[in-house]
């Protein structure tokens, strides 16, 4: 290389992505010991990377002391959770850090057998979530009393049903009635399951995951009613279908249910009868063993028996998933004719994208005026709407469309024709994506339809995309569109792919 063109590179010249790649090869301890306080940029990257700290028992006491004294004061506001795979290490660590305030710490996970919930460090650091993994249980340990007022959720994992029974019945006492418990238990045999749940548990169980390895002789009866239980998962090696009813919990508020394993039938009508006991159920997952053959007729039967539900079959996992609410707890809201109200949505400020589709192909439904008004009043942050042109016309009775900035429209006919009545209700649209409900290319006139969209109907937009289009009245599409804006300072960027798409950016 020529000396004049040669350039020296330093560590500072590396992009952030490479730093994160380097970080992934180091333990959190080695990372802090090697990189902390090198410079301000490295510190910023570290603070973003180190949110969850895991203290392994392989760390020496000297290393833990160094972490507490030298590292923690610099990263204290970046830590969201601590995990200790030995309870006594955690106890030692927290004793050394009493003077440090961890403002963002929300979760502590303790693994071991001698866990003492009366320790005052829980009240000192006030985590909202406490995870306990009971690897083995010593009945000589003193009873655990959960006194902390900050803990909202308690996650407990048991490796045996016997440990779960002794710990929950005789060893654990929760004083706050607001603590909701998430629990995962592994049972070696079915009789352990019934022995545990035939007694009253002094907890408010919100989530329960159960694994059962074998079926032995047992007295079958319904478990106790769990009024707070929202999520239940049953994993079992093999069980006759008629016995499943005895293993399912009695809960009037159950929202999610999953079955993993092998049973004697996947008959949709039989499962529908079983699920009818849970009127609030929003999601059901059925994961079958790989040696169970699922035929096309089975899938169609499930869709037939659950017409108002979303039924998905995953052939790779050999599993069915049924969603009843059609609401994703993300930023999207799905609407179809089965939705009658929005009463159970308490996160309206998170919704930015509304998708409206009939559950039946090429059909439409009249969205009630009450629902339209509620959308306009409660869902103020919806800026994107995806629907069909026919469905869009049902919104003309309210002002909901005035808040839409991004519009995705499908057309069953009259491709890209949008009436003036609809246009008047969309004064703030900046981005438009148009497509056909049917496969294949759609013929379109550039000098009539497209020009009308750009100049007469949506002259304020920043982006227009038309899918699967073939322009029939102009060979030089890009040059022609550019000529329309020749007198403007800011020229559009035009890209036309024959029989594929036309996109225009401003």
CB-hemisphere CA count at 13 Å for 23?
18
CA–CA separation, 106 and 93 (whole Å): 17
Q: Which of 223, 183, 231, 181 lies closest to 199, judged by CA? A: 223
Strand bridging mode 353-356 / 332-335: parallel
- Give me the pLDDT at residue 286, please: 87
- Give me the pLDDT at residue 426, please: 92
Strand partners, 119: none
Helices 268-275 and 296-305 pack at an angle, to 10 degrees, of 30
Spatial neighbors of 298 by CB under 8 A, at least 6 apart, are: 266, 268
Please name the residue that has the structure tokens 């305030």. 101
Chain centroid to CA 128: 20
- Give me the pLDDT at residue 231, please: 92
- Give me the pLDDT at residue 9, please: 65
CA–CA separation, 428 and 274 (whole Å): 49
* Secondary structure element (H or E) that encloses residue 195, with its range: helix 190-197
- Give me the pLDDT at residue 413, please: 82
CA–CA separation, 278 and 265 (whole Å): 20
CA–CA separation, 38 and 309 (whole Å): 55
* Secondary structure element (H or E) that encloses residue 89, with its range: helix 87-96
> What sign results for the dihedral spanned by CA atoms 351, 356, 360, 364?
positive
Chain centroid to CA 256: 14
Chain centroid to CA 95: 36
- Give me the pLDDT at residue 427, please: 92
Residue-wise pLDDT tens digits, 216-239: 877 777 666 788 899 999 988 888
Q: DSSP letter string over 82-151?
A: EEESSHHHHHHHHHHTTT---TT--EEEEEES---TT-THHHHH--SEEEEEESS--TTSPPEEE--SS-
Q: Which of 276, 277, 273, 271 lies closest to 259, judged by CA? A: 271
- Give me the pLDDT at residue 180, please: 83
Supply φ then ψ for residue 364, to 5 degrees: -135, 160
Residues in the chain where the model's pLDDT stays below 50:
1-2, 325-330
Q: DSSP letter string over 150-184?
A: S--EEEEEESSHHHHHHIIIIIEEE--TT-EEEEE
Tokens encoding 410: 């499908």
By the 8 A CB rule, do 23 and 48 touch?
Answer: no
Supply φ then ψ for residue 72, to 5 degrees: -55, -40
CA–CA separation, 142 and 172 (whole Å): 10
Strand partners, 495: 503
The CB density around residue 166, as the number of other CB atoms within 10 Å, is 18
CA–CA separation, 258 and 289 (whole Å): 14
- Give me the pLDDT at residue 382, please: 87
Helices first, then strands: H and E counts in the chain: 17, 24
CA–CA separation, 78 and 104 (whole Å): 7
DSSP 339: -
Chain centroid to CA 372: 27
By the 8 A CB rule, do 430 and 403 touch?
Answer: no
> What sign results for the dihedral spanned by CA atoms 385, 389, 394, 399?
positive
Strand bridging mode 501-505 / 493-497: antiparallel
CB-hemisphere CA count at 13 Å for 131?
17
- Give me the pLDDT at residue 58, please: 57
Q: List helix spans (H) across 329-411.
A: 369-378, 389-392
CA–CA separation, 300 and 268 (whole Å): 9
CA–CA separation, 436 and 416 (whole Å): 9
- Give me the pLDDT at residue 330, please: 45
By the 8 A CB rule, do 151 and 174 touch?
Answer: no
By the 8 A CB rule, do 85 and 56 touch?
Answer: yes
- Give me the pLDDT at residue 325, please: 46
């Amino acid at each position: 290389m020529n000396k004049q063109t040669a350039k020296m590179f330093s560590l500072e010249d590396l992009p952030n992505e490479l730093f994160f790649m380097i970080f992934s090869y180091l333990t959190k301890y080695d990372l802090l010991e090697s990189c902390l306080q090198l410079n301000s940029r490295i510190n910023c990257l570290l603070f973003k990377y180190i949110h969850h700290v895991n203290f392994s028992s392989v760390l020496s006491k000297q290393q833990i002391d160094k972490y507490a004294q030298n590292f923690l004061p610099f990263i204290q506001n970046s830590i969201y959770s601590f995990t200790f795979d030995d309870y006594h290490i955690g106890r030692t660590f927290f004793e050394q850090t009493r003077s440090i305030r961890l403002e963002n710490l929300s979760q502590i996970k303790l693994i071991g057998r001698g866990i003492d919930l009366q320790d005052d460090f829980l009240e000192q650091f006030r985590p909202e979530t406490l995870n306990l993994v009971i690897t083995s249980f010593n009945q000589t340990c003193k009873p655990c009393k959960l006194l902390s007022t900050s803990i909202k959720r308690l996650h407990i994992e048991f490796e045996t049903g016997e440990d779960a029974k002794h710990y929950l019945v005789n060893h654990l006492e929760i004083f706050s009635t607001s603590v909701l418990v998430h629990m995962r238990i592994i049972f070696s045999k079915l009789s352990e399951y019934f022995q545990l749940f035939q007694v009253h548990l002094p907890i408010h169980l919100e989530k329960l995951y159960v694994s059962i390895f074998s079926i032995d002789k047992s007295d079958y009866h319904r478990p106790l009613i769990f009024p707070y239980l929202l999520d239940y998962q049953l994993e079992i090696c093999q069980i006759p279908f008629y016995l499943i009813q005895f293993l399912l919990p009695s809960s009037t508020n159950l929202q999610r249910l999953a079955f993993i394993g092998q049973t004697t039938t996947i008959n949709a009508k039989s499962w529908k009868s079983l699920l009818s006991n849970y009127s609030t159920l929003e999601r059901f997952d059925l994961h079958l063993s790989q040696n169970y053959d699922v035929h096309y007729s089975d899938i169609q039967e499930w869709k037939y028996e659950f017409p108002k539900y979303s039924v998905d079959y995953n052939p790779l996992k050999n599993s069915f998933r049924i969603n009843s609410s059609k609401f994703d707890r993300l930023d999207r809201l799905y609407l179809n004719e089965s939705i009658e109200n929005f009463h159970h949505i308490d996160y309206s400020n998170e919704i930015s994208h509304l998708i409206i589709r009939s559950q039946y192909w090429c059909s439409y439904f009249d969205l009630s005026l009450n629902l339209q008004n509620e959308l306009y009043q409660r869902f103020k942050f919806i800026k994107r709407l995806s629907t069909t042109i026919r469905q869009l016309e049902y919104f003309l009775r309210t002002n909901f469309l005035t808040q839409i900035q991004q519009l995705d429209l499908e057309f069953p006919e009259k491709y890209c024709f949008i009436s003036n009545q609809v246009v008047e209700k969309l004064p703030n649209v900046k981005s438009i994506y148009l497509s056909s409900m049917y496969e294949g290319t759609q013929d379109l006139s550039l000098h009539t339809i497209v020009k009308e969209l750009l100049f007469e109907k949506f002259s304020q937009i920043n982006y227009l995309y038309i899918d699967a289009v073939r322009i029939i009245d102009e060979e030089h599409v890009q040059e022609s569109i550019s000529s329309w804006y020749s007198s403007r300072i800011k020229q559009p960027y035009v890209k036309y792919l024959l029989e594929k798409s036309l996109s225009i950016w401003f």
